[in-house]
Amino acid sequence: MASLRQAGISVPVGTALLFVRALAALRGTRHDLYWAGRSTLVHHPEQVPVYDAVFRSWWDGTGAPIAPVAETVTFTLATDDGDEPGGGPSEHGDAPVLSVRYSPQEILRAKDFAAYDDDELAEARRLMADLRLVGAARRSRRTRSSRRTRGRPDLRGTVRAALRTGGEPVQRRTLERRTRPRRVVVLLDVSGSMEPYSRALLRFAHAASSGSTPVEVFTFGTQLTRLTRELSTRDPDEALTRAAAAVPDWSGGTRLGQSLQRFNDGWGVRGMARGAVVVILSDGWDRGDTSVLSEQMARLQRVAHRVIWVNPLRAGEGYAPIARGMAAALPFVDDFVDGHSLDALDELAEVIAR
């Protein structure tokens, strides 16, 4: 191993252990020894000549060439669902077939929602089923037993412990306040400019509602619609169908300021947004008065724990927040993040949990 490292080949401890296990499973011939090392210690094609030179100089000192593998290995390409293009092993006789697998999900996760076709959108919705949203923790009024020696006295626990020591309070018990996830409020823009993203983001909102964190979901365009009840079912198809039927202004205009004012007056400032993490998913295009938007964003920021603005257009090359609505809202935003892909939504979930 030291010779390989000196020659420039990295040999981590895990790789060395794998090499030892491979040796234990073989007969120990020179041929087996060579291929066990080459299969476990070599990670790039350009390392093969270096490995060959080290092997010859260290193990036999003769410089004799190493015999190649006797069998012919045939490579085929297969996807994760097991489909193989072209023929199978029968085309190559008795030669062993090595299937090199690839996953289309890796490409899909980084792809912009606006470039999805119908099949890709359906696959993305399936992948979002694994997403679980956890709100940032906050201290609760409820208490629990603590291991700390200093804190609020736990009289009941101290007396209960004293019963085991003849009535002497040898162990002093204390209490600490529990923590619980903050409420998450999702405000989703369903106007015409958000059409390429709104359906995928609505599926994200449904997946977020399926966890243990309390989540409230609203859509807005020209009106404000509460969708928490429609998204409460665990069946994603049924939830999206019910949500689409409940939203009267899908793919219409955008009045961000007026929609936020209705939310603040009807739910947010009254209590729903107090101490909550508010997530606004919008491209920032607003046909209304931007002064109203600034005023309502200021009201929302004063009562919310954090305000997160998710703009799918932010990931575009050369993007700048020059839209009137986006420019008016940005001074009152705590986090400004992307929302154009599955990877971006994973990052969003991490931001919400902070």
DSSP 75-108: EEEEETTS--SS--GGGGTT--EEEEEE-HHHHH
Q: Tell how many helices (H) and how many strands (E) occur in the chain.
A: 13, 11
- DSSP state letter for 326: H
Strand pairing partners for 259? none
Question: Cβ(113)–Cβ(196) under 8 Å?
Answer: yes
Residue 352's region, left for phi above 0, alpha for psi from -120 to 50, else beta, is: alpha
Q: Give me the residue label for tokens 């100089």.
A: 57
What is the CATH class of 123-135+182-352?
alpha beta
Residue 120: partners with Cβ closer than 8 Å, 6 or more residues away: 108, 111
Residue 326's region, left for phi above 0, alpha for psi from -120 to 50, else beta, is: alpha
- DSSP state letter for 150: S
Annotate 137-157 with b (16+ C-beta within 10 A) or e (fewer).
Answer: ebeeeeeeebeeeeeeebeeb
Residue 140: partners with Cβ closer than 8 Å, 6 or more residues away: 177, 178, 179, 180
Q: What is the per-residue pLDDT for 119?
A: 85
**Token code pair at residue 173:** 């018990």
Cα–Cα distance measured from residue 142 to residue 144, given in angstroms and rounded to the nearest whole number: 7
List, by residue range, all CATH 3.40.50.410 domains of the chain.
Answer: 123-135+182-352
Q: What is the per-residue pLDDT for 261?
A: 95
Q: What is the per-residue pLDDT for 354?
A: 84
In the chain the first and final C-alpha atoms are separated, in Å, by 43
Instruction: Indicate the SS3 state at residue 216.
Output: strand
Model pTM score: 0.66
Side-chain-side CA neighbours of residue 183 (13 Å):
13
Question: Cβ(246)–Cβ(273) under 8 Å?
Answer: no
Per-residue pLDDT for the chain (354 aa), expressed as one digit of tens each?
677 777 777 777 767 777 777 777 776 677 777 888 888 888 777 788 888 888 887 766 654 444 444 444 444 445 555 554 444 444 445 545 544 454 556 678 889 998 888 888 888 888 888 777 777 777 777 777 887 777 788 888 878 888 888 888 878 888 777 778 899 999 999 999 999 999 999 999 998 888 778 999 999 999 999 999 999 988 888 998 999 899 998 988 888 999 999 999 999 988 999 999 999 999 999 888 899 999 999 999 999 999 999 999 998 888 888 888 999 999 999 999 999 999 999 999 989 988
